[in-house]
């Protein structure tokens, strides 16, 4: 039997343990998996693009467990009151191939993306950072704000979105967390000025320049989340040329990240090298750092591991009959009629 976690189950899990604790714990799973980077079979995700958006598959395994995520990106869905990003995923046993977990990953991806952002920022943001600009106030924004508050102690969030209603939504939702001061900014430039950290999480599938070089101040850390497919960017290329750039899996980020604007040999550092202590994250307080985040399959593997452990501990989820278990494994047909009627006597026609 396969453990199944639907959206309601995932919401119950995150509510029961508390969303900030869930973010922190998931970040621990992600960090542990990056620390054993060499054990994973890694490849860029497979993407099917259309005029309306993209549908992607993100697989990986560590030799013991296999996972994949199905995820879409359809920027125009909002006009029909549909989510622009939806996902589900599976965890399976490598030895037998049997699926052990089938789960929603829309809500969970929001948690894992925020957890990854804050985890990376712990190595890249200046010590003592207290303020963050959050550009793009859609479905991911609350999770980003809470992750940086929980894991880095960010207490001031300056928010901006071209849709003011989105900013008002974010401010309303964060009112439940009085330790976070939320400031509505009048422009990107206004939000970014003086911020220790800048997070961009916009949805338009376009070559955009949300941040331009004159907005960037010495010592800033930029958490670029929204540029995550070919033809979609958020940062002016000169910002990248003048910064220390961290990526998840270089072959994928070259295709999908903001660095798609740069030459193929432009210098980047894969995050696992920082986790394993090979290189430093931030080198000095004046350095500008960029996390060019596109999302990588290892992080979904980690989030599925976390969900499975959490669901079992909290006794949430259900067991489903996803794979046949016939009494005779060579007789799959018996599942269609497990108790066939007795054969009738043959009649001969004379």
Entry field: residues in the chain: 350
Q: In Å, how far are 25, 135, 247, 266, 268 from 254, measured between CA atoms?
A: 29, 23, 9, 10, 10
Pairing mode, strands 197-200 and 131-135: parallel
Please identify which of the residues 161, 228, 292, 300 carries the catalytic annotation.
Answer: 228
Helical residues (DSSP H) of the chain, grouped into ranges:
7-17, 19-34, 106-124, 141-152, 164-174, 188-192, 237-241, 250-256, 271-275, 297-314
Q: Are 248 and 299 in contact (CB under 8 A)?
A: yes
Of 100, 102, 75, 70, which Cα lies nearest the Cα of 86? Answer: 70
CA distances from 131 to 105, 154, 199, 248, 343 (A): 29, 6, 11, 24, 78
Query: What is the SS3 assignment for 300?
Result: helix
Sign, CA torsion 308/314/316/319: positive
Could you confirm whether 228 is annotated as catalytic?
yes
C-alpha closest to that of 12 among 324, 318, 319 = 318
Q: How far apart are CA 342 and CA 345, in angstroms?
A: 9
Most distant CA atoms of the chain, gap in Å: 102
Backbone φ and ψ of 277, nearest 5°: 80, 15
Which residues make beta-bridge pairs with 158? 133, 183
Which residues are marked as active site?
228
């Amino acid at each position: 039997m396969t453990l199944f976690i639907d959206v309601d189950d995932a919401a119950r899990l995150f509510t029961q343990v508390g969303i900030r604790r869930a973010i922190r714990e998931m970040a621990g799973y992600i960090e542990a998996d990056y620390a054993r980077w060499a054990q994973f079979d890694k490849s860029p995700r497979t993407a099917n693009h259309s005029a309306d958006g993209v549908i992607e598959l993100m697989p990986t395994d560590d030799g013991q467990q296999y996972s994949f995520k199905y995820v879409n990106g359809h920027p125009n869905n909002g006009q029909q009151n549909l989510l622009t990003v939806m996902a589900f995923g599976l965890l399976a046993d490598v030895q037998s191939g049997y699926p052990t977990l089938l789960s929603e990953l829309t809500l969970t991806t929001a948690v894992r993306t925020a957890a990854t952002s804050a985890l990376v920022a712990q190595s890249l943001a200046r010590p003592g950072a207290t303020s963050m600009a959050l550009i793009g106030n859609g479905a991911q924004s609350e999770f980003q704000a809470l992750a940086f508050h929980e894991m880095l102690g960010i207490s001031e969030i300056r928010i901006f979105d071209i849709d003011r209603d989105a900013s008002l939504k974010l401010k309303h939702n964060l009112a439940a967390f009085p330790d976070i001061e939320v400031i509505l900014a009048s422009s990107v430039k206004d939000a970014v000025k003086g911020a220790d950290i800048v997070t961009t999480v916009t949805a338009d599938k376009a070559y955009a320049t949300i941040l331009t070089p004159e907005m960037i101040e010495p010592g800033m850390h930029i958490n670029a989340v929204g540029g995550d497919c070919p033809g979609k960017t958020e940062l002016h290329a000169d910002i990248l040329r003048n910064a220390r750039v961290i990526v998840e899996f270089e072959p994928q980020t070259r295709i999908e990240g903001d660095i798609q604007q740069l030459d193929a040999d432009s210098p980047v550092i894969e995050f696992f090298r920082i986790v394993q202590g090979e290189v430093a994250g931030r080198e000095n307080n004046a350095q500008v750092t960029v996390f060019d985040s596109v999302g990588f399959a290892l992080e979904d593997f980690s989030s599925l591991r976390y969900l499975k452990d959490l669901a079992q501990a909290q006794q949430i989820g259900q067991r489903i009959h996803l794979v046949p278990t016939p009494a005779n494994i060579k007789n799959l047909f018996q599942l269609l009629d497990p108790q066939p009627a007795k054969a009738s006597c043959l009649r001969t026609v004379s």
